[in-house]
Amino acid sequence: MYLHGSSTINEQGHLQIGGCDTLELKEQYGTPLYIMDEQLIRQRCREYMDAFRATGMQFQVAYASKAFCTMAICRIVEEEGLSLDVVSEGELYTALEAGFPAARIHFHGNNKTPDELEMALDAQIGCFVVDNFIELQMLNAIAAEKGLKPAILLRVTPGVEAHTHEFISTGQEDSKFGFDIGNGSAEEAVKQAHQLPHVELLGLHSHIGSQIFEVDGFEVAAQRVADFARQLQQEAGVSFKVINLGGGFGIRYIEEDTPLAAHTYVEAIANAVKQQFAGLEGELPQIWIEPGRSIVGDAGTTLYTIGTSKDIPGVRKYVSVDGGMTDNPRPALYDAKYEALLANRVNDEPSELVSIAGKCCESGDMLIWDIELAEPVAGDLLAVPCTGAYNYSMASNYNRIRRPAVVLVNDGQSDLIVERESFEDITRKDVVPARLRASVTSRS
């Protein structure tokens, strides 16, 4: 069993994270519980920052907050010197509430509403990543009304699509995002943006995919974007200060996953950009990247209590936990794979093949198919590592299940960073029209 970050096995054979015994965390906070390893989050941030410092280039590392967006995580990445990507007014609101410096916030998305653009303009965020012509014109118009000139990047699709172990180089990319380089719309967008009086074109952005384990996709994307930038610089005199190559750096969910070190990706990207701009006049552009999953993914562990099981002789044994697709929709959505361990007796030899089921009313609510565990029984604690990214942020109240608490652990200390939802939270937004009220008075 691979133990991530500060996870260890203590003398009682309990899983310990950030110096905190998971059994004690269960006692204090209940289950299901998301546990975030602060030290590992900070380490991941520093790996990217240090790798860029070593290249000698100017850079920004922006945490893609959609992976896990709470006020406490905004504070941590802020302290580590990262910038922050947001994709909605809710994420922007969270960042601003957390006191994240607006100048280091970047706004993404293929359908930013006029309200979102206004809110972000009023907050004077650092940069808009403009996705399409309508947004470009709308941003220019709203900025004109406010007498502002926001910095923008244009999101381009370089015709590279990456999936984990391979990348596909496509001519015309079929994507809802961005301006296509291949069909000339990216060039048109650059020319428009260059002429609009109320936007300042800083550079170009591309994001090729997620959970990527190879550098080739990034290299090809960097080459294509840089090549495109160079061409426009030579032909149209447009200079670009920033090349943003997005996120998507892979992490280890299961033993077989083989992620690369942050510096490997960073060096490959930096070299590709340097090569393309070698011999050109002017300064090298800054490189920006946007890791999400690889900042918080392996820092998260979900702790469940095991409840019932169902043994179907000759078929399989289902073992159920007190959470499921409501706190981790990734297996149901993407067929994502996870490992697990019995946190209250980690050293017991795995002896039984079981499948871990969630408690929702969906046959598809399975967290793990076929995993060897040491005969799990009701009351055992199941820890599922690597749930820091796209778990809490995608959690739902399906079946009116309350969203779990999130605790941040570090050096023997645990702090609640998101409270467990209460029953009142569950009905907080319900409204019973007057004509139906009689039927609910019996409880009050």
Ligand X SMILES: *Cc1c(COP(=O)(O)O)cnc(C)c1O
CB atoms within 10 A of CB 110: 14
Q: Which two tokens stand for residue 322?
A: 């007190």
> Would residue 361 show up in a list of annotated catalytic residues for this protein?
yes
Cα separation, 107 vs 83, whole angstroms: 11
Nearer of residues 175 and 183 to ligand X, judged by Cβ: 175
Q: Which two tokens stand for residue 228?
A: 């495109």
Q: Which residues contact 368 (CB under 8 A, 6 or more apart)?
A: 331, 337, 338, 339, 340, 355, 356, 384
Cα separation, 238 vs 218, whole angstroms: 24
DSSP 184: T
Cα separation, 360 vs 32, whole angstroms: 14
| Smallest distance from ligand X to CB 297, Å | 8
| Smallest distance from ligand X to CB 116, Å | 16
| Smallest distance from ligand X to CB 416, Å | 25
Indicate the helix (H) or strand (E) that contains 54. helix 38-55
Report whether 58 contacts 410 (CB < 8 A). Answer: no
| Smallest distance from ligand X to CB 435, Å | 45
| Smallest distance from ligand X to CB 62, Å | 8
Cα separation, 297 vs 300, whole angstroms: 6
Q: Which two tokens stand for residue 333?
A: 């959505």
Nearer of residues 358 and 385 to ligand X, judged by Cβ: 385
Residues that bind ligand X (CB under 6 A): 64, 66-67, 108, 207, 210, 246-249, 290-294
Cα separation, 300 vs 407, whole angstroms: 10
Q: Which of 45, 74, 127, 361 is catalytic?
A: 361
Nearer of residues 95 and 382 to ligand X, judged by Cβ: 95
Task: Provide the annotated active-site residues.
Answer: 361
